[in-house]
Structure 1
Amino acid sequence: MKYEEDKEIKTGICKQATDEAFLHKGGFHGDDVADLRYHGGPDRAVCVYPFEHYAHWEKEFGKPLPQANFGENVTVTNMLEKDVHLGDIFRIGEAVIQITQSRIPCSTITKRTNNPSLLKRMIQTGFTGYLCRVLEEGIVRQDSRITLLDPHPKQVAVLYSNEIYFRGQKNVEGMRKVLAVEELATELKETLESRLSKLVHL
């Protein structure tokens, strides 16, 4: 992907619409990840972004956004960060997925959109989208419905976890609440545990 005048990076953020794709434990067949340090893997196999946010950003920044602007694999409706929870399990087409963490947006979004304010605003609003692991593999079609199979009993909203991650670095109770979700992505769990250990040993 080229950005600014003559700079170029290797990225998997630019997605193309498809009628159907097989979803396996590592993600959608044919969908590559350029930087495995920060993207992909079993805990982050699927990136989901709420469609409603597109209208918000288009109004705020005054220009239309292309499909899959945020590099998401699946664009959804009625599944905002405030309404879904870490550990929630959904059926999507033939597959079953589970929310593992909020999406931690990176600078590639800024490069793709040529909008230096977007990354900051995503963090401020918590409109980041979220990541999922695949519990059952299967085909997902463009018109597949997403159905909540098993709501997580802890009811820790993705939006709340965003608040703790980005602005609650000293919120011991908040970090413990997020960490109480055993299904949390391993890397995020380790980050929060590290922050927490430094605080409780002060």
Structure 2
Amino acid sequence: MATVLSVNLAVPRPSAVTTPGVTGIDKRPAARPVRVSAPGPKGNGLTGLEGDRVFDTAYHGGDDQAVYAYAREDLDAWAVELGRDLPSGCFGENLTTSGLDVTGALIGERWRVGDEVVLEIADVRIPCRTFAEWMSEQGWVKRFTARAVPGAYLRVVVPGEIRAGDPVVVLSRPEHDVTVGVTFRALTRESELLPRLLAADALPRGVKETVKKRVAEAPAE
């Protein structure tokens, strides 16, 4: 059964590569239930989890990045490759999941978490300098991009409380075939996949506009 292993909240840390000089990428498991709700537009420093924060507000937070989920199975694979322990929350994820194919989830797919919360897959995580600084691994952005297991950003459809141990149930899946993995690969290294993304209505407006522009500007074969 798919479950939430931990619900993770930010512990602010200094950063040499962010404009505010502080980052919330270090997230630690909460020992209590956490209230989840739509945080509003990007720029207010909020995520969808009460008690969580983002500090680089130009690129993080807001309704389309309300919750970030990463699979424990994928963390474990990275731990083997890197030869180090990777505790839940260390990739900056709010939800560390188990038994759930996050990379294979469809854009627009909806999950019920616990008894009441409903989340919708909205976008993918693109690695940045802050992530590279935090991981302190040689060529981290390139390695993360090549693996193409990015985790998923979700928007909040129905608010409520979540906690470690909550079951995750897939409520609905759209009829297109645009997965988290396909979206990431299209936006990073495989631009030939970009036209496929146009079928995913649930992508954030800014992402859709960028995709349409890149598709229109692509040279004809």
Output the TM-score relative to the length of structure 1.
0.89
Residue 102 (structure 2) pairs with residue 67 (structure 1): no
Deviation at 1:182, TM superposition (A): 0.8
Q: 2:27 aligns with which of 5, 11, 15?
A: 15
CA RMSD in angstroms comes to 2.0
Cα 1:44–1:56 change in 2 (3 A) is same
Deviation at 1:13, TM superposition (A): 0.9
SS at match of 1:180: coil
Output the TM-score relative to the length of structure 2.
0.82
Residue 145 (structure 2) pairs with residue 132 (structure 1): no
Instruction: Give the Cα separation in 1 of the matches to 2:132 and 2:33.
Output: 29
Q: Which runs of 4+ in 1 moved over 3 A?
A: none
1:91-117 deviation per Cα after TM superposition (whole angstroms, max 9, x unaligned) = 112210000111112121211121133
Q: Given that residues 82 and 158 in structure 1 are in contact (C-alpha distance below 8 angstroms), is that contact kept between their aligned partners in structure 2? A: yes
Aligned to 1:97: 119
Q: How many residues align?
A: 196
Q: 2:199 aligns with which of 157, 180, 201?
A: 180
Instruction: Give the Cα separation in 2 of the matches to 1:201 and 1:40.
Output: 36
Aligned to 2:166: 144
Instruction: Give the Cα separation in 2 of the matches to 1:77 and 1:59.
Output: 17
Give the partner amino acid of 1:113: M
Q: 1:160 aligns with which of 182, 196, 200?
A: 182
Gap runs ≥5 in structure 1: none
1:166-192 deviation per Cα after TM superposition (whole angstroms, max 9, x unaligned) = 1222x2xx3222121111112221221
Instruction: Give the Cα separation in 1 of the matches to 2:111 and 2:183.
Output: 19
Instruction: Give the Cα separation in 1 of the matches to 2:94 and 2:64.
Output: 14
Aligned to 1:83: 104
Residue 47 (structure 2) pairs with residue 25 (structure 1): no
Instruction: Give the Cα separation in 1 of the matches to 2:219 and 2:199.
Output: 17
Q: Given that residues 117 and 157 in structure 2 are in contact (C-alpha distance below 8 angstroms), is that contact kept between their aligned partners in structure 1? A: yes
Gap runs ≥5 in structure 2: 1-12, 40-47
**Identity value in percent:** 29
Cα 1:36–1:84 change in 2 (3 A) is same
Instruction: Give the Cα separation in 2 of the matches to 1:189 and 1:9.
Output: 31
